[in-house]
Amino acid sequence: MSMRPLSLALLLIAPALLQAAAPTLHEALVAVREDRAGDAGVARALQGLAKAHGTPLYVYDQAHIRGQVKALKAAFAPRFQRLRLLYALKANTNPAIVGLLRSEGLGAEVVSLGEIEGALRSGHAGPEIMFTSSSKSPAELRRAVALGAVLNVDSMDELGQVQAEALRQKKEARISFRVNPGVDPHTIHQINTGIAESKFGLHLQDGIAFRAYEKAKAMPGIRVEGVHCHIGSQITETEGYALTARKMMGFVKELKDRLGLRLAFVDLGGGLGIPYKDGQEVMSPEDLARTLEPIWKEGVAAAGYEPTLWLEPGRFFVGGAGFLLARVNTVKQTPVKTFVNVDAGFNTLMRPILYQAYHRVRVLGRSADPVTVDIAGDVCETGDILAEARTLPRASAGDLLTILDTGAYGFSMASEYNSRPMPAEVLVDGDTARVIRRRGSFGDVFRNTAR
Ligand SMILES: Cc1ncc(COP(=O)(O)O)c(C=O)c1O
């Protein structure tokens, strides 16, 4: 008899308990990352997003982005007296993301007129922008000089063009040179930029970079502010950075000793890698800061002054924040493989076909009956495989998948190939999801065309 009131009370509070246990959208994304996508509550949360906004859908976790900024600052700020962080817009150009990083105090590193426009629309002032490209058009030079952005000059030819533009505008152009340090950071060939045969930068080798500074120093209309390098992307070891920093600090000393040049900044680029696989070990910001600190301090002591250290990561801030939701159209068994055909393809996420990049895939709300499958895209190309030979819980038509770590070089590399409109993007903050880009339409696909 005495059990009765207790059971009644349990019955009454059980729904409330269950509700309290429902994860927020942020918690659901964390759970997916932690391989708990099979959990019914987690699946429900993300199925709700897919229902509200359609698929394919890019979902970004704001808390992850803020956490990455915090981690980088925590590692570097105590060790480097003068530190400036920039965000490389090419990783994800959505103004909501760029604005979020700006609100964390980051500057903007851009590579085109479009990205300059993106930085301005996100609230950046011209002088907060660093413009890097190995092939800048006259219109790009004109805009960057007018805005007071730092032009990261890539050739002697460009230096002459920048000067002509500055004199035409009766301005001083703020410049740095992109230096090619000749360092191999051991990453994917296509994103390896610091090796000698790369198209980027003025080589330190043979004194080419030195001669550029010598010339620029004496040029009216040119204000030399810094030196820059970027040795590649998705770098997971500290060694390449250490070699580069040593070369760059040696160059800083050489510029001071031989030309009397004191630079305002030394930009060591971006490139910090993130783990794309479960259990993958990559260098942490702490590892990198600890490696660079003694090299920097030694360089500063040798040069006799301290420039500001600039870093300009893209992927590190936003890569892990992105989850691409895609729906299963069909499952097909062939004599050799099982294909899970989804409603996203290399038009949505290009990294797998472009770099043979690996992205984790999770099936939402399923945890049983593992099968080895290829996740195939909906583009009519044989190579359109988003993930190969993955052992995943059995999925069927209508199920939702999420592809992890798609916040960087995901949407920003997407296209309308096969006349498929661009996907929508939402930004998750706690339990709210804000649409930060509407899904594209057929009107968008055929805009500016004529019959
Ligand atoms: C000059 C420059 N800076 C920064 C970046 C950002 O690289 P990541 O996203 O790997 O940090 C890139 C990427 O290609 C780049 O070319």
The tens digit of pLDDT for each residue in 36-89 reads 999 999 999 999 999 999 999 999 999 999 999 999 999 999 999 999 999 999
Report, as an integer, the average pLDDT of 390-416: 98
Given 293, 313, 333, the domain boundary residue is 313
Report, as an integer, the average pLDDT of 286-307: 98
Q: 320: CA distance to ligand 1 center in Å?
A: 16
| pLDDT recorded at residue 2 | 45
Least confident of 96-100, 188-192, 238-242, 339-343: 188-192
**Are residue 354 and residue 301 in the same domain, yes or no?**
no
**Are residue 420 and residue 296 in the same domain, yes or no?**
no
* Beta-strand runs (E) in 49-180: 57-61, 83-88, 107-110, 129-132, 150-153, 173-180
Has residue 402 got a pLDDT over 90?
yes
Residue scoring higher pLDDT (10 or 91) = 91
Q: 234: CA distance to ligand 1 center in Å?
A: 9
Residues in the chain: 451
- The CA distance from 146 to 258, in Å, is 31
Q: 429: CA distance to ligand 1 center in Å?
A: 26
321 Ramachandran zone, left/alpha/beta (phi>0; psi -120 to 50): alpha
| pLDDT recorded at residue 429 | 98
**Are residue 379 and residue 302 in the same domain, yes or no?**
no
CA-closest residue to ligand 1 atom 16: 230
**Are residue 303 and residue 437 in the same domain, yes or no?**
no
Report the run of H or E that residue 245 belongs to, with start and end: helix 239-259
Residue 103 domain-assigned (yes or no): no
Backbone φ, ψ for residue 362 (5° rounding): -125, 140
| Domain containing residue 408: CATH number | 2.40.37.10
Q: How many CB atoms lie within 10 A of CB 279?
A: 5
Q: Which atom of ligand 1 is nearest to the CA of 319?
A: 9
The residue assigned the tokens 């299963």 is 328
Residue 183 domain-assigned (yes or no): yes
**Are residue 386 and residue 248 in the same domain, yes or no?**
no
Residues within a 6 A CB radius of ligand 1 = 88, 90-91, 109, 132, 230, 233-234, 269-272, 312-316, 408
- Listed in sequence order, the residues at least 6 apart from 399 whose beta carbon sits closer than 8 Å to its beta carbon are 327, 328, 363, 364, 365, 366
**Are residue 303 and residue 157 in the same domain, yes or no?**
yes
Q: Which two tokens stand for residue 63?
A: 């808390």
Q: Which two tokens stand for residue 441?
A: 């339409």
Q: 415: CA distance to ligand 1 center in Å?
A: 20
Query: What's the 3-state SS for 337-364?
Result: CEEEEECCCCCCCCHHHHHCCCCCEEEC
Query: Which band of pLDDT confidence, cut at 50, 70 and 90, is reported for residue 3?
Result: very low
Cα separation values, 139 from 113, 115, 128, 178, 385, Å: 8, 13, 19, 20, 38
Given 272, 295, 313, the domain boundary residue is 313
- The CA distance from 251 to 246, in Å, is 9
Has residue 13 got a pLDDT over 80?
no
Domain of residue 173: give its range. Answer: 125-313
What is the residue-averaged pLDDT of the chain? Answer: 94
Residue 44 domain-assigned (yes or no): yes
Q: Which atom of ligand 1 is nearest to the CA of 314?
A: 9
**Are residue 203 and residue 308 in the same domain, yes or no?**
yes
CA-closest residue to ligand 1 atom 5: 270
The tens digit of pLDDT for each residue in 310-364 reads 999 999 999 999 999 999 999 999 999 999 999 999 999 999 999 999 999 999 9
Residue 109 domain-assigned (yes or no): no
**Are residue 294 and residue 354 in the same domain, yes or no?**
no
- The CA distance from 259 to 186, in Å, is 34
Q: Which atom of ligand 1 is nearest to the CA of 228?
A: 1
Q: 279: CA distance to ligand 1 center in Å?
A: 24
The answer to whether the CB of 276 falls within 8 A of the CB of 194 is no
Task: List beta partners, residue 324.
Answer: 58, 403
Q: Which atom of ligand 1 is nearest to the CA of 313?
A: 11
Residues annotated as catalytic (active site), given as ranges: 380
Ligand 1 pocket, mutate which of 90, 98, 136 (most atoms under 8 A from CB): 90
Q: How many CB atoms lie within 10 A of CB 138?
A: 10
Residue 302 domain-assigned (yes or no): yes
**Are residue 336 and residue 286 in the same domain, yes or no?**
no
Report, as an integer, the average pLDDT of 388-416: 98
Report, as an integer, the average pLDDT of 367-376: 97
**Are residue 297 and residue 345 in the same domain, yes or no?**
no
CA-closest residue to ligand 1 atom 1: 230
The tens digit of pLDDT for each residue in 215-264 reads 999 999 999 999 999 999 999 999 999 999 999 999 999 999 999 999 99
Has residue 287 got a pLDDT over 90?
yes
| Domain containing residue 176: CATH number | 3.20.20.10
Q: DSSP letter string over 91-129? A: G---HHHHHHHHHTT-EEEE-SHHHHHHHHHTT--GGGE
| pLDDT recorded at residue 198 | 78
Ligand 1 pocket, mutate which of 154, 230, 413 (most atoms under 8 A from CB): 230
Dihedral angle computed from the Cα positions of residues 160, 161, 164 and 166, in that order, rounded to the nearest 10 degrees: -110
Whole-prediction pTM = 0.94
